[in-house]
A and B are shown apart, each in its own frame.
Chain A
Amino acid sequence: MNHVRYIDKTRDYYLSQGYDKPYRWANFDDVPFTPLNKPLAESRLALVSTSEIALRSWKDQRTPLEKGEQGNVYSFPADTPLDDLYSQTHSFDKYATTLVDVNAYFPVTRLQEFAAAGRIASLAPNVHGVYNAYSQRKTREKDAPELLRRLRADAVDVVLLTPV
């Protein structure tokens, strides 16, 4: 069976809900590409997620937007206990699957295993999340540069990105 056409399905769905302006999904003619510049076994990898991954131990569980903050990028230690992690998102197929197993969308344990096995040099000390900014321009002009700054501060070589 072919893969799901989410762009078509969401357009039809929102039209049926009375929204007449279809969402304009991000679209680029020129796509940047950076080749690997050293072996993976010598590379530090960072995990970045848009799954609204959150910590149960956070005192304030509100999103940056709900708190009135400008930034949508947040970070926490990669060695945070797995049972402290969960996702706040509703944007997943709750009829078909669950978010109970964090590694099914935020594979931090799997990456720790690859680091222990020497497949990558290390997992970077911080993992990062990026909240939906409701603005593609802000994602591009504010959140992406802030994320890159944090990755460079951790001397990251390669990045694995996981939406939910």
Chain B
Amino acid sequence: MPTVIIGVARDIIEHCGVARLVFTDFPLGSPCGEPGDARMQGKIVGSALDLLASATGPRTTIQSPFAWAKGDAWKASIFSKDQPWKTEEETEEWLARKALYRKLRSEGKV
């Protein structure tokens, strides 16, 4: 089945290897365009439809032409001390989910 991905984590997706990728150089959470900008979202989704037809082989990546309106400062801040990836609460939830997964796995339930 022909597939296309719209994503922001270009390195992860290309490391995996996919058929077609529309890469948008935006923060995690906004691969299909800036929130509230329906016109930009339409352009990006439209380019994914174009790529479904135009790609001739796997690992075809195109880049959306848009720049994040507030600039690229967000890139330097990722995973910095000022901006922990997960809050304490979220870390606890993540660890709880992992522990639950290990428990269910040990019981043969997942």
Contact = CB atoms under 8 A, between A and B. Distances in A.
Interface of A: 1, 3-10, 12-13, 25-37, 39-40, 45, 63, 65-66, 68, 70, 90-101, 103-107, 109-111, 113-114, 119-120, 134, 138, 148, 151, 156-164
Contacts of A34: 1-3, 19
The dominant DSSP class at the A interface is: loop
Contacts of B72: 1
Interface of B: 1-13, 15-19, 23, 25-36, 38, 41-42, 44-46, 48-49, 52-53, 55-59, 68, 70, 72, 74-75, 77-79, 83, 85-86, 90, 93-94, 97-98, 100-101, 104, 109-110
B74 to A, nearest CB: 4
A125 to B, nearest CB: 17
A157 B30 CA distance: 26
Most buried by A among B23, B45, B68: B45
B26 A31 contact: no
